[in-house]
Amino acid sequence: MKLVLLRHGESLWNQENRFTGWTDVPLTEKGRQEAVEAGRLLKTEKILFDVCYTSYLKRAIQTLNLVLQEMDCEWLPVYKDWKLNERHYGGLQGLNKSETAKEYGEEQVKIWRRSYDVRPPFLEIEDDRNPGKLVQYRDVPKEKLPLAESLKDTAERVNFYFDSAIAVQLKKEKNVLVTAHGNSLRALIMRLEHLTPEQILDLNLPTGIPIVYELNQELEVEQRKYLGDPVWIKEKINQVAAQGRKKEADYG
């Protein structure tokens, strides 16, 4: 079976180097082009998907739609779930990463962005950014909606959804496409590749680059590869890693 993980294309707040989290921002034109290119790469790879999954956030949904258009596979079933949302960055949402690094230091920002069990500052319950106040989550019990999350928190909900939905399809020998976010996919990669909290700290996922996993019946990884030019992929990974430095990164 094949499981393909795809981080959404560049969003407006990626472009502005802001902590995005659950803020529902759209793709930029560059992000749309990245999504189309991801669809072209997947079409060239000749993977026939059976089912697709994405989050409640429009940057992931828009990316998936563009990929399926490019592959001429818009008929595929798509399931959306908030458990595939990006990690909730709490009170950091909307802040520029480089400016935050100047104020708090690069090491603190790296911990907030990439550590396993450290949560960023919490939102206040009265804050309009509280997901409990947003219509998308009206059917989700409020006690399940976060005001800030660590990667560990994110992994718990992502792994629950993987076990209850995605893994069920994979065990039926279905090929699955998951279009989601940097941290929700990092959590899933941590599980698939048995990474430690220390190893996950330095894992940076570029936008718009498909990662193809070949899995056996036990859902163990037999092969893993990025699609695209290796030099280009490495450059994009380095650009993501640079986001939390004091100097403004060229790309978010």
Whole-angstrom CA distances from 232 to 21, 168, 207 are: 26, 34, 12
Q: Is residue 218 flagged as an active site residue? A: no
Specify whether the backbone of 211 is left (phi greater than 0), alpha (psi in -120 to 50) or beta.
beta
**C-beta of residue 60 within 8 angstroms of C-beta of residue 21:** no
Cβ neighbours of residue 96 under 8 Å, at least 6 residues apart? 16, 17, 18, 248
Catalytic residue among 8, 10, 37, 181: 8
C-alpha distance across the termini of the chain, in Å: 32
Catalytic residue among 86, 88, 149, 181: 86
CA 128 and chain centroid, separation: 23
Handedness of CA 151, 152, 153, 158 (dihedral sign): positive
Q: Is residue 99 flagged as an active site residue? A: no
SS3 210: coil
Residues with a known catalytic role: 8, 86
